[in-house]
Amino acid sequence: MSDHSSSDTPTLACPTCKKPIEWSEKYPHRPFCSERCKLIDLGEWASEGHKIPGQPVYDDVLSDDLDPTKTRH
Ligand SMILES: [Zn+2]
């Protein structure tokens, strides 16, 4: 009765290239099959985030203007 390492390793598809991988130490970049796919996915996510119109500069100006420690008398 040695139930040590069963062959029931969960498998999943790499989100980037859909290649089937095992959820094990064989794939340190899981759920991606490789670091390359991981970077590709992160890159797409970042470029998509770029499209969202944020207002970081405007917000920075506002908070700077409202900062009481910077408006000295
Ligand atoms: Zn992949």
Domains by residue range for the chain, with CATH? 11-66 (3.30.50.10)
Distance (angstroms) between ligand 1 centre and the Cα of 54 equals 31
Ligand 1 mean position to 9 CA, how many Å? 18
Please report the DSSP string for 4-55 in residue order: SS-S---EEE-TTT--EEESSTT-TTTTSSSHHHHHHHHHHHHHHHHHS---
At 73, is the pLDDT very low, low, confident or very high (cuts 50, 70, 90)? Answer: low
Q: Is the pLDDT of residue 20 over 70?
A: yes
- pTM over 0.75? The answer is no
Ligand 1 centre distance from Cα of residue 26 (Å):
14
Inform me whether the pLDDT recorded for 9 exceeds 80.
yes
pLDDT tens digits, 26-63 = 999 999 999 999 999 988 767 765 555 555 555 555 55
